[in-house]
Amino acid sequence: MIKADHEQVFDKAAGMKVSIKACDDFDGLVRIVRDLVEIQIIRRDQLVAQQMLAKHGEFFPFGSSMTADGEIIANGAYDGDEQPPSQQLIDLLTQAFRQQATDGKIRAAAVCYDVRTIPPGQSERTDAICVSAEHQNGEAADVYLPYKKGWFGKISYGKIFGAARKREFFS
């Protein structure tokens, strides 16, 4: 928790240090806190997806949310099918986050899934971990971590990139 007398906040997952000065305006402080919330969720989901790719070579869509109290919760979806279509799980997670947002139970949420996309500066599609994240203040973004599967299951990762997205949870 950030208190008024804190000078710096260190987010270990993102390896980022953020300075907070007494003269910072309220909007600036809110932006810093919001960014740290999103970084915690996005980085957590990327790490979980990387672990699943390394162990199983694939992963089903899953999510994370931050409660109104600041607790990060892992979220999954199950429709009774052993091999459900990914879009069906994404839709279930989206519906659940939309309801939780409407009820005021969460302040941020993200859905993590496997996609094929064209990274900036490239012309061919590649596999990527996508984390679609939203914050209650209205910001929404898709963050992509490209990857390639190599020999003996070795996975190499490219550079992270992102894009704004349409809000779906906090609408």
pLDDT of residue 35: 62
Task: Give a three-class secondary structure readout of the chain.
Answer: CCCCCCCEEEECCCCEEEECCCCCCHHHHHHHHHHHHHHHHHHHHHHHHHHHHHHHCCCCCEEEEEECCCCEEEECCCCCCCCCCHHHHHHHHHHHHHHHHHCCCEEEEEEEEEEEECCCCCCCCEEEEEEEEEECCCCEEEEEEEEEECHHHCEEECCCEEEECCCCCCC
pLDDT tens digits, one per residue of 37-70: 567 788 888 889 999 999 988 999 999 999 998 8
Residue spans per domain, the chain = 8-164
* pTM (two decimals): 0.76
Q: What's the pLDDT band for 131 if we cut at 50, 70, 90?
A: very high
Asked whether the predicted pLDDT for residue 17 surpasses 60, the reply is: no
pLDDT of 86-104, one tens digit each? 999 999 999 999 999 999 9
Residue 18 has pLDDT above 60, yes or no: no
